[in-house]
Protein backbone atom coordinates (compact mmCIF):
# COMPACT_ATOMS: atom_id res chain seq x y z
CA UNK A 1 0.00 0.00 0.00
CA UNK A 2 1.45 3.33 -1.03
CA UNK A 3 1.75 5.98 1.64
CA UNK A 4 1.50 9.72 1.29
CA UNK A 5 2.50 11.91 4.21
CA UNK A 6 1.91 15.57 4.90
CA UNK A 7 2.26 17.79 7.95
CA UNK A 8 -1.27 18.32 9.22
CA UNK A 9 -0.57 21.90 10.28
CA UNK A 10 -2.06 24.31 10.78
CA UNK A 11 0.46 26.30 8.79
CA UNK A 12 -0.03 29.98 9.41
CA UNK A 13 1.49 32.62 7.13
CA UNK A 14 0.89 36.37 6.89
CA UNK A 15 -0.87 37.78 3.86
CA UNK A 16 1.57 38.35 0.99
CA UNK A 17 4.08 35.75 2.18
CA UNK A 18 5.05 32.50 0.46
CA UNK A 19 3.34 29.38 1.82
CA UNK A 20 5.27 26.14 1.39
CA UNK A 21 3.41 22.84 1.62
CA UNK A 22 5.25 19.55 1.59
CA UNK A 23 4.40 15.96 0.72
CA UNK A 24 6.44 12.76 0.79
CA UNK A 25 5.46 9.47 -0.80
CA UNK A 26 6.61 5.91 -0.34
CA UNK A 27 6.46 4.41 -3.85
CA UNK A 28 9.50 5.20 -5.99
CA UNK A 29 7.55 4.12 -9.06
CA UNK A 30 4.98 6.90 -8.71
CA UNK A 31 4.80 8.93 -11.90
CA UNK A 32 2.33 11.73 -11.29
CA UNK A 33 1.35 13.88 -8.36
CA UNK A 34 -1.66 16.03 -7.69
CA UNK A 35 -2.42 18.91 -5.37
CA UNK A 36 -6.04 19.46 -4.37
CA UNK A 37 -7.45 22.35 -2.37
CA UNK A 38 -10.39 21.75 -0.06
CA UNK A 39 -12.24 24.58 1.61
CA UNK A 40 -13.99 23.76 4.87
CA UNK A 41 -17.22 21.90 4.20
CA UNK A 42 -16.55 21.71 0.45
CA UNK A 43 -15.23 19.02 -1.87
CA UNK A 44 -11.61 18.89 -3.13
CA UNK A 45 -10.70 20.68 -6.33
CA UNK A 46 -7.55 20.13 -8.39
CA UNK A 47 -5.13 23.05 -8.47
CA UNK A 48 -1.92 21.51 -9.82
CA UNK A 49 -0.48 18.29 -11.15
CA UNK A 50 3.13 17.46 -11.96
CA UNK A 51 4.88 14.44 -13.43
CA UNK A 52 8.36 15.71 -14.34
CA UNK A 53 11.20 16.48 -12.00
CA UNK A 54 11.63 20.17 -11.39
CA UNK A 55 9.18 23.02 -11.12
CA UNK A 56 5.82 23.67 -12.69
CA UNK A 57 4.29 27.11 -12.37
CA UNK A 58 0.67 28.19 -12.73
CA UNK A 59 -0.07 31.73 -11.64
CA UNK A 60 0.76 32.08 -7.96
CA UNK A 61 1.20 28.33 -7.57
CA UNK A 62 4.41 26.37 -8.15
CA UNK A 63 4.69 22.62 -7.78
CA UNK A 64 8.13 21.17 -7.21
CA UNK A 65 8.96 17.50 -7.71
CA UNK A 66 12.08 15.64 -6.63
CA UNK A 67 11.65 11.96 -7.48
CA UNK A 68 15.03 10.98 -6.05
CA UNK A 69 13.97 12.29 -2.65
CA UNK A 70 10.33 11.18 -3.11
CA UNK A 71 9.23 14.68 -2.30
CA UNK A 72 6.70 17.02 -3.89
CA UNK A 73 5.90 20.51 -2.68
CA UNK A 74 3.46 23.29 -3.43
CA UNK A 75 4.47 26.93 -3.11
CA UNK A 76 1.85 29.66 -2.98
CA UNK A 77 3.27 33.11 -3.64
CA UNK A 78 1.61 36.31 -2.44
CA UNK A 79 -0.67 34.30 -0.15
CA UNK A 80 -4.19 35.65 0.25
CA UNK A 81 -6.74 34.99 3.00
CA UNK A 82 -8.79 33.22 0.30
CA UNK A 83 -6.01 30.62 0.09
CA UNK A 84 -6.89 29.46 3.60
CA UNK A 85 -7.92 25.84 3.09
CA UNK A 86 -6.67 22.30 3.46
CA UNK A 87 -4.26 21.18 0.73
CA UNK A 88 -4.26 17.49 -0.19
CA UNK A 89 -1.43 15.71 -1.94
CA UNK A 90 -2.55 12.72 -4.03
CA UNK A 91 -0.67 9.95 -5.80
CA UNK A 92 -2.26 7.47 -8.24
CA UNK A 93 -2.29 3.90 -6.95
CA UNK A 94 -3.26 1.65 -9.83
CA UNK A 95 -6.77 2.69 -10.76
CA UNK A 96 -7.27 4.65 -7.54
CA UNK A 97 -5.65 7.51 -5.67
CA UNK A 98 -3.92 7.64 -2.34
CA UNK A 99 -4.60 10.95 -0.63
CA UNK A 100 -2.42 12.42 2.06
CA UNK A 101 -4.05 13.62 5.28
CA UNK A 102 -3.83 17.25 4.11
CA UNK A 103 -2.16 20.36 5.46
CA UNK A 104 -4.39 23.08 6.83
CA UNK A 105 -3.19 26.51 5.70
CA UNK A 106 -4.27 29.71 7.38
CA UNK A 107 -3.34 33.03 5.74
CA UNK A 108 -3.59 35.84 8.26
CA UNK A 109 -4.69 39.28 7.04
CA UNK B 1 -16.44 23.01 -13.93
CA UNK B 2 -16.87 19.32 -13.25
CA UNK B 3 -20.20 17.79 -14.29
CA UNK B 4 -20.71 15.49 -11.35
CA UNK B 5 -23.77 15.73 -9.17
CA UNK B 6 -24.82 14.38 -5.82
CA UNK B 7 -28.22 14.31 -4.18
CA UNK B 8 -29.32 15.00 -1.59
CA UNK B 9 -26.80 17.61 -0.45
CA UNK B 10 -27.94 17.27 3.16
CA UNK B 11 -29.85 14.44 4.81
CA UNK B 12 -30.99 14.02 8.40
CA UNK B 13 -32.53 10.65 9.08
CA UNK B 14 -33.42 8.36 11.94
CA UNK B 15 -31.64 5.18 12.95
CA UNK B 16 -32.67 2.06 11.05
CA UNK B 17 -33.82 3.81 7.89
CA UNK B 18 -32.65 2.70 4.44
CA UNK B 19 -31.05 5.47 2.42
CA UNK B 20 -29.58 5.85 -1.04
CA UNK B 21 -27.13 8.59 -1.91
CA UNK B 22 -27.17 9.45 -5.59
CA UNK B 23 -24.18 10.30 -7.77
CA UNK B 24 -24.27 11.07 -11.48
CA UNK B 25 -21.68 12.34 -13.94
CA UNK B 26 -22.10 13.50 -17.51
CA UNK B 27 -18.46 13.28 -18.55
CA UNK B 28 -18.59 9.66 -19.71
CA UNK B 29 -15.95 8.62 -17.17
CA UNK B 30 -15.52 4.92 -16.65
CA UNK B 31 -14.14 5.19 -13.14
CA UNK B 32 -16.20 6.34 -10.18
CA UNK B 33 -15.45 6.46 -6.47
CA UNK B 34 -17.10 7.02 -3.11
CA UNK B 35 -15.16 8.59 -0.26
CA UNK B 36 -16.15 9.15 3.34
CA UNK B 37 -14.76 12.16 5.18
CA UNK B 38 -15.42 13.34 8.73
CA UNK B 39 -14.95 17.08 9.41
CA UNK B 40 -11.28 18.01 9.45
CA UNK B 41 -10.24 14.44 8.80
CA UNK B 42 -8.78 12.42 5.92
CA UNK B 43 -10.56 11.15 2.84
CA UNK B 44 -11.25 7.43 3.01
CA UNK B 45 -12.07 5.41 -0.09
CA UNK B 46 -15.06 3.15 0.60
CA UNK B 47 -16.08 1.95 -2.88
CA UNK B 48 -14.97 2.26 -6.48
CA UNK B 49 -15.96 1.09 -9.92
CA UNK B 50 -14.01 0.67 -13.14
CA UNK B 51 -17.10 0.54 -15.31
CA UNK B 52 -20.58 -0.91 -15.71
CA UNK B 53 -21.18 -3.99 -13.52
CA UNK B 54 -17.82 -3.49 -11.78
CA UNK B 55 -17.70 -2.58 -8.08
CA UNK B 56 -14.99 -3.00 -5.47
CA UNK B 57 -14.62 -2.20 -1.79
CA UNK B 58 -12.11 0.43 -0.84
CA UNK B 59 -9.60 0.78 1.94
CA UNK B 60 -12.11 1.68 4.64
CA UNK B 61 -14.56 -0.97 5.70
CA UNK B 62 -18.09 0.23 5.11
CA UNK B 63 -21.53 -1.22 5.69
CA UNK B 64 -22.77 0.48 2.55
CA UNK B 65 -23.23 -1.10 -0.87
CA UNK B 66 -22.97 0.33 -4.37
CA UNK B 67 -24.14 -0.55 -7.85
CA UNK B 68 -23.07 0.47 -11.36
CA UNK B 69 -25.76 -0.40 -13.86
CA UNK B 70 -25.14 2.66 -16.03
CA UNK B 71 -21.88 4.45 -16.76
CA UNK B 72 -23.15 7.77 -15.49
CA UNK B 73 -24.75 6.58 -12.26
CA UNK B 74 -23.12 5.21 -9.08
CA UNK B 75 -25.54 5.16 -6.13
CA UNK B 76 -24.53 4.23 -2.58
CA UNK B 77 -27.02 2.50 -0.28
CA UNK B 78 -27.15 2.06 3.48
CA UNK B 79 -29.68 -0.66 4.38
CA UNK B 80 -29.99 0.42 8.01
CA UNK B 81 -28.54 3.77 8.96
CA UNK B 82 -26.80 4.19 12.33
CA UNK B 83 -25.36 7.26 14.10
CA UNK B 84 -21.86 5.95 13.27
CA UNK B 85 -22.69 6.56 9.58
CA UNK B 86 -22.89 10.31 10.21
CA UNK B 87 -20.30 11.83 7.88
CA UNK B 88 -19.75 13.58 4.55
CA UNK B 89 -19.88 11.32 1.50
CA UNK B 90 -18.03 12.46 -1.60
CA UNK B 91 -18.43 10.96 -5.05
CA UNK B 92 -15.71 11.32 -7.69
CA UNK B 93 -15.03 10.21 -11.23
CA UNK B 94 -12.01 10.01 -13.49
CA UNK B 95 -10.88 8.99 -16.95
CA UNK B 96 -7.52 7.38 -17.49
CA UNK B 97 -5.47 9.59 -19.79
CA UNK B 98 -1.84 8.55 -19.97
CA UNK B 99 -0.45 9.39 -16.52
CA UNK B 100 -2.77 12.33 -16.00
CA UNK B 101 -5.97 11.02 -14.46
CA UNK B 102 -7.51 13.77 -12.36
CA UNK B 103 -10.41 12.87 -10.13
CA UNK B 104 -13.37 15.24 -10.28
CA UNK B 105 -15.40 15.49 -7.11
CA UNK B 106 -19.07 16.08 -6.61
CA UNK B 107 -20.33 18.60 -4.03
CA UNK B 108 -20.87 15.92 -1.40
CA UNK B 109 -23.74 14.69 0.74
CA UNK B 110 -23.66 15.53 4.43
CA UNK B 111 -25.46 12.73 6.27
CA UNK B 112 -26.63 12.95 9.86
CA UNK B 113 -28.18 9.88 11.48
CA UNK B 114 -30.02 10.56 14.72
Q: What is the pLDDT of residues B18-58, one digit of tens each?
A: 999 999 999 999 999 999 999 888 899 999 999 999 999 98
Alpha carbon distance A66, A49 (integer Å): 14
Cis peptide before B8 (omega within 30 of 0): yes
* Mean pLDDT of the A79-99 span: 91
Q: Please write down the HEC assignment for all residues of chain B.
A: CCCEEEECCEEEECCCCCEEEEEEECCCCCEEEEEEECCCCCCEEEEEEEECCEEEECCCCCCCEECCCECCECCEEECCCCHHHCEEEEEEEECCECCECCEEECCCEEEEEC
* Mean pLDDT of the A82-106 span: 92
Cβ contact, residue pair A95, B105, below 8 Å: no
How far apart are the CA of A40 and the nearest CA of chain B, in angstroms? 8
Structure confidence by residue, pLDDT tens digits, B51-83? 999 999 988 878 899 999 999 999 999 999 999
The candidate with the shortest Cα–Cα distance to A47, out of A89, A14, A9, A6, is A89
* Mean pLDDT of the A83-95 span: 91
The candidate with the shortest Cα–Cα distance to B87, out of B58, B59, B113, B61, is B113
Q: Which pLDDT does position A9 carry in this prediction?
A: 83
Q: Which of A42, A51, A102 sits opposite B99 (nearest CB)?
A: A51
How far apart are the CA of B108 and the nearest CA of chain A, in angstroms? 6
Alpha carbon distance B108, B29 (integer Å): 18
> Residue A37: closest CA among chain B residues belongs to which residue?
B105
Q: Who has greater pLDDT, A44 or A94? A: A44
Q: Is the pLDDT of residue B100 over 70?
A: no
Residue A107 CB neighbour total at 10 angstroms:
20
Residues in A touching B33 (Cβ below 8 Å): 96
State the pLDDT confidence band at A79, using cuts at 50, 70 and 90.
very high
Question: Which residues on neighbouring strands pair with residue A22, listed in sequence order?
Answer: A73
State the pLDDT confidence band at A73, using cuts at 50, 70 and 90.
very high
Residues in A touching B42 (Cβ below 8 Å): 99-102
> Residue A9: closest CA among chain B residues belongs to which residue?
B40
Q: Which of B40, B102, B106 sits opposite A43 (nearest CB)?
A: B106
Alpha carbon distance B62, A21 (integer Å): 31
Question: Which residues on neighbouring strands pair with residue B82, listed in sequence order?
Answer: none
Transcribe A2-60 into DSSP letters: --EE-----EEEETTSPEEEEEEES-TT---EEEEEE-TTS--EEEEEE-SSEEEEETT
Q: Is the pLDDT of residue B97 over 70?
A: no
Cis peptide before A92 (omega within 30 of 0): no
Cα torsion angle, A95, B91, A64, A100, sign? negative
Q: Which pLDDT does position A29 carry in this prediction?
A: 85
Cβ contact, residue pair A43, B100, below 8 Å: no
Structure confidence by residue, pLDDT tens digits, A5-63? 998 889 999 999 999 999 999 988 888 899 999 999 899 999 999 988 889 999 999 99
* Mean pLDDT of the B5-13 span: 97
Residue A43 at interface with chain B, using a CB cutoff of 8 Å: yes
Q: Which pLDDT does position A96 carry in this prediction?
A: 83
Strand B10-13 relative to strand B109-113, pairing: parallel
Amino acid sequence: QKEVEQNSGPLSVPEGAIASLNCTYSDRGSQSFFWYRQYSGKSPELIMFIYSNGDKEDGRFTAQLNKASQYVSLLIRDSQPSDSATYLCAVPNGQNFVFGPGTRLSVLP
Amino acid sequence: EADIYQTPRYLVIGTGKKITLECSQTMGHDKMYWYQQDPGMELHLIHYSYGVNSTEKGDLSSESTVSRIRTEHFPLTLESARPSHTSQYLCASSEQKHIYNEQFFGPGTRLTVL
